[in-house]
Amino acid sequence: MGKVGWQGGHSEGMILAARGTRWAPQTQPLPTQSLAPRKPEEEEEELEETAQEKKLRLAKLYLEQLRQQEEEKAEARAFEEDQVAGRLKEDVLEQRGRLQKSVAKEIQAPASADIRVLRGHQLSITCLVITPDDSAIFSAAKDCTIIKWSMESGRKLHVIPRAKKGAEGKPPGHSSHVLCMAISSDGKYLASGDRSKLILIWEAQSCQHLYTFTGHRDAVSGLAFRRGTHQLYSTSHDRSVKVWNVAENSYVETLFGHQDAVAALDALSRECCVTAGGRDGTVRVWKIPEESQLVFYGHQGSIDCIHLINEEHMVSGADDGSVALWGLSKKRPLALQREAHGLRGEPGLEQPFWISSVAALLNTDLVATGSHSSCVRLWQCGEGFRQLDLLCDIPLVGFINSLKFSSSGDFLVAGVGQEHRLGRWWRIKEARNSVCIIPLRRVPVPPAAGS
């Protein structure tokens, strides 16, 4: 038994030994390699990149970064150059008097609740001006007073009261209807003209009276300072245009040409002015140095208001209800909008609403017109000022005797009265004699597809 057991144990031991030999890899594993194949280029980089090659690789990266930075700078420079080129183009067009910025289509019609109403005059507002910095408004009326208003608060900053006729030593002022005003482009001088043939010059800041210009033989109906100077142009129902130097308190010259009472006048930077000739049916451009004039025809009625859009174009309104756009190179209107504020009266006897005031935002395509049709109308001038398209109506009851855009274009100021500034043909009792500040909010128009 022991022999048999030993033999079995021996053979079993031999088998185990054999098995142990067969399964040796399990009990004593040999070194193994990673299953993921190694990239030969990684090995080469690790094994073969020398210090010199590393410097070269970093230098290439640095040069690539420099190239990208230079491209970004070049793009920024090109963008700036485009902007500068655009500004230079605008400056050139402005100098030539042909600049027409497109802003009209961005204007959003204001709500009635947003309009601020300033009351202080007893009778109809006849004219107004805004200071160049848009901080104050001067308004004048048939009550012979001038009021300076704060644009921000709407409060009265100063009142120039009515002067009694023949009152010596009394505070200076107007003793008859004030029909027109103008302020110099530096905001230093204010000029006002009245039915008593007088032009009064004031220091705009303090409202202190400086000079009185006499020389017109009838009511002074239009005043304008040449921009950038203290040269003043005036016109009158005596049919003349006069030139004054306010800084030197001196008269310069008189120009004649109109065949009837002149109703309005305007001027910009050039040494010339434009006038609305009332019943003589002409618009005239006066070239002061040459003492010559250009004559334009187009309205059928009395031309009562005029305003320069830029140095080469202007807008005018007449009592035949028409609004005209003019270019200095053409003697007829570039565009004529008849019945611009509609018709009034009984069926079969309709008459157009008179155009009593016009205004234009300088060097843009935005124009405003006023009548007594219970609204101010905003218009867009077409390309080249050859078309006039209605934008919106702003409700205002009464005669809109004066309209002025602020320099920034952020608001429009209207002088409203119960009567027309030049007469008493009608009286609108429900109207309030007031200065109305109309905000003009702009909504940017998305660019057209592909632009």
318: closest CA among 303, 307, 329, 339?
303
Structural domain contains residue 28: no
169: closest CA among 142, 140, 117, 209?
209
Q: Where are the alpha helices (DSSP H) in 279-339?
A: none
CA distances (Å), origin 152, targets 149, 432, 444: 9, 21, 25
DSSP states of 358-377: EEE-TTBSEEEEE-SSSEEE
At residue 446, the pLDDT reads 65
Residue 95 host element (H or E): helix 51-96
As a whole number of angstroms, the distance between CA 215 and CA 196 comes to 11
| Domain range for 136 | 102-342+353-442
- Classify each residue of 26-53 as buried b or exposed e, where b means 16 or more C-beta atoms within 10 Å of its C-beta: eeeeeeeeeeeeeeeeeeeeeeeeeeee
At residue 89, the pLDDT reads 62
CA 3 to chain centroid: 124
pLDDT digits (tens), the chain, 451 positions = 444 444 444 444 443 333 444 444 444 444 444 444 555 554 555 556 788 888 888 888 899 999 899 888 888 887 777 767 666 666 666 555 666 788 989 998 888 899 999 999 999 999 999 999 999 999 999 999 999 999 999 999 999 999 987 655 567 899 999 999 999 999 999 999 999 999 999 999 999 999 999 999 999 999 999 999 999 999 999 999 999 999 999 999 999 999 999 999 999 999 999 999 999 999 999 999 998 999 999 999 999 999 999 999 999 999 999 999 999 989 999 999 999 999 998 888 899 999 999 999 999 999 999 999 999 999 999 988 999 999 999 999 999 999 999 999 999 999 999 999 888 888 899 999 999 999 999 887 666 554 4
The Cβ-side half-sphere exposure at 411, using a 13 Å CA radius, reads 20
DSSP states of 106-165: GEEPPPGGG-EEE---SS-EEEEEE-TTSSEEEEEETTS-EEEEETTT--EEEEEPPPPT
At residue 296, the pLDDT reads 96
Structural domain contains residue 406: yes
| Model confidence, pTM | 0.77
At residue 345, the pLDDT reads 85
Structural domain contains residue 142: yes
As a whole number of angstroms, the distance between CA 388 and CA 367 comes to 9
**Angle value at C-alpha 180, between 172 and 245, nearest 5 degrees:** 70
At residue 270, the pLDDT reads 93
Residue 243 host element (H or E): strand 240-245
Structural domain contains residue 45: no
Structural domain contains residue 421: yes
CATH number at residue 331: 2.130.10.10
Structural domain contains residue 3: no
Structure tokens at 75: 């793009």
Structural domain contains residue 187: yes
CB atoms within 10 A of CB 100: 18
At residue 156, the pLDDT reads 96
Structural domain contains residue 88: no
410: closest CA among 130, 160, 179?
130
Looking at the structure of the chain, the number of domains it has is 1
Structure tokens at 104: 């009209």
As a whole number of angstroms, the distance between CA 178 and CA 193 comes to 6
At residue 87, the pLDDT reads 64
At residue 23, the pLDDT reads 43
